[in-house]
Amino acid sequence: MNLTLDIWRQKNTDTKGAFKTYAISNISEDMSFLEMLDVLNEQLVEKGEDPVHFDHDCREGICGSCNLFINGRAHGPNIKTAACQLHMRSFSDGDNITIEPWRASAFPVIKDLVVNRGAFDRIIQAGGYVSVNTGGVPDANEIPISKVKADQAFDSATCIACGACVAACKNASAMLFVSAKVSQLALLPQGQVERKTRVERMVAQMDAEGFGACTNTGACSIECPVGISQDNIARMNREYYSAKAKSDNLE
């Protein structure tokens, strides 16, 4: 296939970027989207040009690095698919493909299509953990938990923190990410001790990072490569309001 690519090029955080158009030919439809970019980059390197920087690591949909905004959608046209799992057969010969970085003030562009998602790490550091003094390995099934709760917690835990929710949201809100992390631990017995403080701190950090608020449009769940549901946001809100009313924290 022959394609025209419109790619955001930006030298670093402090310089202004712009779109640059590239024509690319002989792309196989069995290639992944990232392999198509690899081909482009090889050609750029051969010509002595700066290759297009993009984030990737596992290329199997589990690490959440490959954040590309493709043709107006986070991770491209397919649902429940990370950009690395997207294949060129989802496009047609002659297509014009626009590739942009995630756009959010909390995710500054580092270079080209690579953004700094450190804000997510700081939100996790604010409370997205369980403090335990590790003792011996507990026996299996020692901690009682219902199958339903365990499944819900697992579903929340599948979040790969890619940031597609922020990218897709018209408000650049991080509520789906934060709520998945809050939910996962709020549902598990191990998370109960820090339950109230956790949600208070994580939401405070989310606000401090400059993410938007939620209008419940639901775009995030549709664009999420693992399909984290809106139930998480409702649960986080519930957790937050009840924590604010009942926790011992005055700050």
Mask: binding to ligand FES, 26-65, rule CB under 6 A, as x and -? ------------------------------xxxx-xxxxx
User: What residues are paired with 212 via a beta bridge?
Assistant: 173
Distance separating alpha carbons of residues 229 and 220, to the nearest angstrom: 9
192 vs 215 by CB, closer to ligand HEM: 215
Distance of closest approach, residue 201 Cβ to ligand HEM, in angstroms: 23
Distance of closest approach, residue 29 Cβ to ligand FES, in angstroms: 19
Distance separating alpha carbons of residues 148 and 198, to the nearest angstrom: 23
Cα-only R_g, the chain: 20
Residue 41 binding result from ligand HEM, other proteins, ligand FES, none, given CB thresholds of 5 to 8 Å by partner type = none
**Which residues in the 205-244 window bind ligand HEM by CB under 6 A?**
215-216
- DSSP annotation of 94 reads T
- Tell whether residue 81 is a contact of ligand FES (CB under 6 A): no
Distance separating alpha carbons of residues 178 and 126, to the nearest angstrom: 11
Task: Tell me which stretch binds ligand FES (CB under 6 A): 45-53, 81-89, 125-133, 236-244.
Answer: 81-89
Q: Where are the alpha helices (DSSP H) in 108-146?
A: 118-125
CA dihedral 165, 169, 172, 173 (to 10 degrees): -70
Residues that bind other proteins (CB under 8 A): 6, 19, 69, 71-73, 98, 100, 103-106, 168, 170-173, 203-204, 206-207, 210-219, 222-223, 230-231, 233-241, 244, 249-251
